[in-house]
Structure 1
Amino acid sequence: MNPLLEIRHLDQSLWLDFISRQVLTNGELKRRIDEDALRGVTSNPAIFEKAIGGSADYDDTIREQARQGKSAEEIYVGLAVADVQQACDLFRPLYDSHDNSSDGYVSLEVSPALAHDTAGTIAEGRQLWQAVDRPNVMIKVPATLEGLPAIRQLISEGININVTLIFGLERYRAVTEAFLAGLEDRVQAGQPVEDVNSVASFFLSRIDVLIDPQLDKLAAEGGPRGELAASLTGEVAVACAKQAYQLYKDIFAGPRWNVLQAKGANTQRLLWASTGNKNPKYDNLKYITNLVGPKTVNTVPVDTMDLFKQSAIPATAQLEEGLDHAREVLRRLPELGLDLEVLTGQLEADGVQKFIEPFTKLLDSVEKKRQQALSSNQQLA
């Protein structure tokens, strides 16, 4: 059996961490929906930089819009919105199905330059929501301190939110609080909540990329501390995910949640992000096979998704296996002088910068093509 289909039978949803005009127009995305139980798509500035800046697929539209006097950022937004609209339409039958399991969504991110601007994030979140004009779009908002009140506000307005760049467990708690408070604000205003959906995107491989070299260095020193460090190497990200899932189960239970659930509210599912392996020492499916569990999403790069499909590895629910070990991994990190909250704060800052850089590069690329179009137009005149 196709492992991608098996995962769906275990109530996990696979979303594709990629979008481009080519996969929208050549039938590839539709094929993945039909054949591989693909349930959604996520995008980010780096993905759009590759799609728009790295191909000629958008050049005709860029030239046309340049001649209309649009800026590089306006052109980019128009291109991204058009792609997301087309992808939303492909997923619309799933979204409209009687039991869509909160799937069928396509995510579009606010400008990473707004990561520390609450008011700007709210304004752009509303703008993108209105521009796409599809009920199955999710607006991506970073889980920065400034992003939290924006998440609450946008949820209260009925806008679907994909909370991105979550690295730490305490920040994950704060994200769920923003989501719940937004739903409560909406209920208090007499508005429905059954069609409001959100995911909390917990980034994983980057955790190991940051922490493993520090553990390797300690392991090389030998002794009991070295042995402990060696035993924790490659274990931290998956341990964080397993603990986050236990938090999810606790948070979306009990009296507070029951009130919202009675109004038809959906839980804010955990979404495993950054699940392409970045360490050649590890199994390339490390962040797929170890994280299968119900009511979760895994957003997977194209290469990783194809590798998993070809592997024919039977999918099994592993997310709640080895919980004692996961707790032990997180408990013992401080013994080595590693403060996970500090380290995940560093990852958040790096993550914002990793989105700003391709976004800047993307706008530069669009601007270059825009100027070429204007110059060509002048020559023809």
Structure 2
Amino acid sequence: MIDPIRELARHGQSLWYDGLKRDLIRTGGLARLVEDGVRGLTTNPAIYEKAIAGTADYDADIAALGSRGLDAKAIYEALAIQDLRAAADLMRAVWDETDGRDGFASLEVSPLVALDTRATIEEGRRLWKALARPNVFIKVPGTPEGMPAIEALAAEGVNVNVTLLFSRAAYRQAAEAWMAGLEARARRGEALSRAASVASFFVSRIDTLVDRRLDEKARGAADPGERGRIEALRGKAGIANAKLAYQDFKELVASERWAALAARGARPQRVLFASTSVKDPRYPELLYVEALVGPETVDTVPPDTLEALRRGATVRDTLEDEIGLARAQLAALESLGISMDTVTDAVLEEGVRKFAEPFQQLLATIDARRAHLGAPTAH
């Protein structure tokens, strides 16, 4: 029987797991994932909030850290840094085996500073130093304010996972910011061969918004044929947008600018497809995973999607299939008055909020657990 995870690797795509929490490390779950071919992992505050609220795994540490007078954010960082270090150590064999291409664990800067360049740089720098591992990424949001932070951190040798990328324009800006950081290092005569970055391009969230707008237009269509044409575009925007972003990636790595960096040993910033679990139950579980397979890419999947993949998948190079159709689908959306620029602006704003709200809830949960455990409240 074909192993879909290893088959993805044979097609040049690394599968990463989105779901780090402490029991995954302690029970040997992460080690088993690595044995199964998973090549990296990511996490987020929402995952941590559920783990802290729903288990006792962190209680002893929360009590100990709280007794030292640390506030909720400092406690969270201490917990996350401990977990990320342990995860990076478990993934280190993958990092060594792939010569630094895979084997990464990612920790994001606070979503509360997503619109603050200076704070993002300072926090990214501090977390990188605290983690003290070569195979970690600092996740930086792909907001306008995040772009200078990407460049500054890359120039300092920090590995960057650019997150919350929805538009092709933002993807290119992120790629160019990272290249500018590498160029600064090159001018100082510093090595580029270990510099690592991924650009996390989100997929299903695009369809969630576009499909909602298509449904509204379909309800208002008087002609059944027109209604059918509108409904046929459901579930198409996210994949089309991602496929064209990959074409942008290919153009960038074919450029003279990139060639100059590659000559100094730099490695491409791979496109990472995020949000590849379906949000609409009418769609096949592996709709996005199967449609976006191609070389020099990463796909990060949550537990449910990984289990669906284990049950079987059709794995072949699909990322460059029907590029003309992808352009036509996005043009058809524009003709209906659904602007991809407007859509991606909206989902970015929503994405920042959906990262910030769980983070605030996480801090509230830590405060509640600390109080429950009898630790003093920080002042």
Q: Common fold, TM-score beyond 0.5?
A: yes
Match of residue 295 from structure 2: 294
Amino acid at match of 1:76: Y
Take 1:255 and 1:375, find their aligned partners in 2: how far apart are those partners? Answer: 58
Work out the CA distance in 1 between the residues paired with 2:293 and 2:316: 7
Tell me the amino acid that sits aligned with residue 277 of structure 1.
V
- Once residues 222 and 268 of structure 1 are traced to their aligned partners in structure 2, the CA distance between those partners, rounded to angstroms, is 47
**2:182 match: secondary structure:** helix
How far 1:374 sits from its partner (Å)? Answer: 3.6
CA shift digits 1:81-119 (9 cap, x unpaired): 00000000001011112x346111100000000000000
How many Å apart are 1:229 and its aligned residue? 1.8
Report the AA paired with residue 258 of structure 1. Answer: A
Which residue in the other structure is 1:114 paired with? 113
Instruction: Provide the residue aligned with 1:210 in structure 2.
Output: 209
Q: Hey, what does 1:356 align to over in structure 2?
A: 356
Please give the alpha-carbon distance, in whole angstroms, between the structure 2 residues aligned to 1:86 and 1:209: 35
Instruction: Name the structure 2 match of 1:309.
Output: 310
In the alignment, which residue of structure 2 is the partner of 1:15?
A: 16
Q: Tell me which amino acid in the other structure corresponds to 1:143.
A: G
User: Is the Cα contact below 8 Å between 1:19 and 1:51 reproduced in 2?
Assistant: no
* Residue 331 of structure 1, CA deviation: 1.7
Q: Deviations over 1:308-357 (max 9, x none)?
A: 1112x341111111111111111221110111111111101100110111
- 3-state SS in 2 of match to 1:293: coil
Matches within 5 A, 1:149-228: 149-220=148-219, 221-223=221-223, 225-228=226-229
Relative to structure 1, the CA distance from residue 226 to residue 263 in structure 2 (aligned partners, 3 Å threshold; closer, same or farther) is: same
Cα displacement (A) at 1:225: 4.7
**Residue by residue, what CA displacement relative to the aligned partner does 1:170-228 show, whole Å, maximum 9, x if unpaired?**
11111111111111111112211110110000111110001102112222314365343
List runs of 5+ in structure 1 lacking aligned partners.
none
Describe the SS at the equivalent of 1:232. Answer: coil
Structure 2 gap ranges (5+):
none
1:119 partner amino acid:
R
Per-residue Cα deviation, 1:227-276 (whole angstroms, up to 9, x for no partner): 43222111000001110111100011121111000011011100000111
Report if the CA contact (8 A) 2:67-2:376 is conserved.
no
| 2:79 match | 79
Match of residue 250 from structure 2:
249
Q: Say if 1:334 and 1:314 are closer, same or farther in 2 by CA, change over 3 A.
A: closer
Aligned to 1:55: 55
TM-score by length of 1: 0.95
Structure 1 position 283 matched with structure 2 position 284? yes
Q: Distance in 1 between matches of 2:233 and 2:240?
A: 10
Query: In structure 2, how many angstroms separate the alpha carbons of the residues matched to 1:306 and 1:222?
Result: 42
Residues matched between the structures, number: 374
| SS of aligned partner of 2:39 | strand
Give the TM-score normalised by the residue count of structure 2: 0.96
The Cα of 1:370 is off from its aligned counterpart by: 1.8
Write the letter of the residue equivalent to 1:87: A
The answer to which of 326-335 and 104-113 deviates more is: 326-335
Residue 376 of structure 1 and its aligned partner are, at CA, apart by 8.6
How well do the aligned residues superpose, as a CA RMSD in angstroms? 1.4
Aligned to 1:131: 130
Distance in 2 (CA, whole Å) between partners of 1:192 and 1:52 is: 40
Separation (CA, whole Å) in 1 of partners of 2:335 and 2:235: 17
Whether the aligned pair in 2 keeps the contact of 1:66 and 1:373 (CA below 8 Å) is: no
CA distance in structure 1 between the partners assigned to 2:103 and 2:344 by the alignment: 30
Distance 1:281 1:368 in 2: 38
Look up the SS of the partner of 2:184 in the other structure: helix
> Aligned partners of 2:331, 2:314: CA distance in 1, in Å?
31
CA distance in 2: counterparts of 1:254 and 1:204, whole angstroms: 26
- Hey, what does 1:230 align to over in structure 2? 231
Query: For 2:167 and 2:331, how far apart are their aligned partners in 1?
Result: 14
Deviating 4+ runs (over 6 angstroms): none
